Amino acid sequence: MFKHNVVIFFPRRFCSSVTIFALAIPIAFAAYVAPAAASQRGELVLATSAEDMALRTRLVRLAPTVNPEEARRVAYVAYTTGRELAREWDVVSSPTMQNFLIIIGARKAGYCFQFAGELLTRLDAQKLKTLELHWAESDPGGDTEHNVIVVTANGGPFAQGILLDNWRRSGHLLWGPVYGDPDHPWSENKAEFARRLKRRPPAANRPKR
């Protein structure tokens, strides 16, 4: 109910499944969903460790061509990146509260696109051959825009990929199939992927002369 009243005070990208245009701390905390409930919603689950066998197995099963060692590295980097960034950015237990603290200057970072951007950079540094990375967005340009990284088999369809989300659970890795997210419908943004990695965007996304 606060969305239309205070939207002018906040940045467009709020990266939340709950609109958090609120000015008081109790309201922000009320929007928080306990991490323990995440594994019970849809098919998304929390990674148990940097060596999470369920995540590694799911990545390997994307295609017969997927290298198990690459799947292991992706799982490790995705898990440790979220934990490291949470410590570096002093992330609180509620991502909605973290956003609020950034706005008032009490935290320097911790938006969803910052988590996703750093994860993309680190995974790209792995020089993957059998797995492919994608920049995913939900509600682009809207109040609840959210960004994650999606991993597919090399050349595989985006819709069959596995999403990696370090923001929604405050640095704890949430993962699962793109189509299994109960909170967000995902689409791929190839131009943003190219921009993040400073690469030439696909021809279809380049402006015509």
pLDDT for the residue numbered 69: 98
Give, in order, the Cα–Cα distances in Å from 109 to each of 40, 75, 186. 28, 23, 23
Residues with Cβ within 8 Å of residue 207, at least 6 apart in sequence? none
Burial per residue of 89-105, b for 16 or more beta-carbon CB atoms within 10 angstroms, e otherwise: bebbebbbbbbbbbeee
The whole domain housing 76 covers: 15-20+34-198
169-198 pLDDT tens trace: 999 999 999 999 999 999 999 999 999 998
H or E element: which one contains 177? Answer: strand 174-177
Residue 27 lies in a domain: no
Residue 204 lies in a domain: no
The total of structural domains in the chain comes to 1
Residue 185 lies in a domain: yes
Residue 65 lies in a domain: yes
Residue 208 lies in a domain: no
Determine the average pLDDT of the residues in 8-35: 42
pLDDT band per the 50, 70, 90 thresholds, residue 143: confident
Residue 131 has pLDDT above 90, yes or no: yes
- In terms of pTM, does the model score above 0.75? yes
Residue 63 lies in a domain: yes
